[in-house]
Amino acid sequence: MAKTALITGASSGLGAEYARQLAARHVDLVLVARDKTALTALAGEISSRSRVEVEVLAADLVVPRQLEKVVRRLEDVERPIDMLVNNAGFGLDLKFERNDIDDEVRHLQLLVEVPMRLTHAALGPMLQRRSGRIVNVASVAGFIPRSTYGANKGWLISFSRWANGRYSQRGVTVTAVCPGFTHTNFHERMGLAPGAEGVPGWMWLDARDVVAESLRDVARGKAVSVPSLRYKAIVALTRVLPADLVARAGERGR
């Protein structure tokens, strides 16, 4: 297991759960998010439970100068990062034509450009050491036509597959983690009340289970991790069902 992990979007949701589970495995942490207060609170919680070092790095990753702080931290060979978890993100309404185009551009930057830049920054030192793990938190939506969110996550899956094949023989694995609907505050941040997504209860996953299963797949060096048997089955069905039926399924939820 990695010695130090840098996690983006670490202040809540899956990012915070990755932080907790990695700390329980005695991994030191660098926590990255916009909300320094939330990061500091999480760092205090983790430090009180686990004997690990926790560094807080507040940054808005779509602001170039703030993104550069995280790039420099990843490139610091004196304080090596052994695992990068690209988790930062947000969602938009599926009605692309109604969304503000500048919001869509920021969405694209955070879900595609930012993980690409951070992966590039992490790869150099990792390849020199011939050791490292990169985790790109994608989504089952990446297999399903689902507005720009699905398109962005599809890019991340494709890139991770290629990168894992390219670099795993040199000691660095790259895994796209593709959860389905997961109980976090992601939908709350979109302004949706609990239960307002129109998604049946059986489709919801627990964040702890998603992170635990994905970390097992990361340890195995898998290029793509789809937590839970139900979503593995759904992804398999997307390959054989008619495209228009898959597209209609992608309209479910927010």
What is the CA 65 to chain-centroid distance, rounded?
A: 22
Task: Find, among 84, 22, 93, the residue nearest to 57 by Cα.
Answer: 84
Phi-psi region of 5 (alpha: psi -120 to 50; beta: other; left: phi over 0): beta
At residue 204, the 3 state secondary structure works out as: coil
Phi-psi region of 125 (alpha: psi -120 to 50; beta: other; left: phi over 0): alpha
Task: Find, among 152, 89, 81, 67, the residue nearest to 123 by Cα.
Answer: 81
Selected catalytic residue, list 18, 149, 167, 231: 149
Give 170-181 as a DSSP string: GTEEEEEE---S
Q: Establish whether 18 is a catalytic residue.
A: no
Residues involved in catalysis: 149
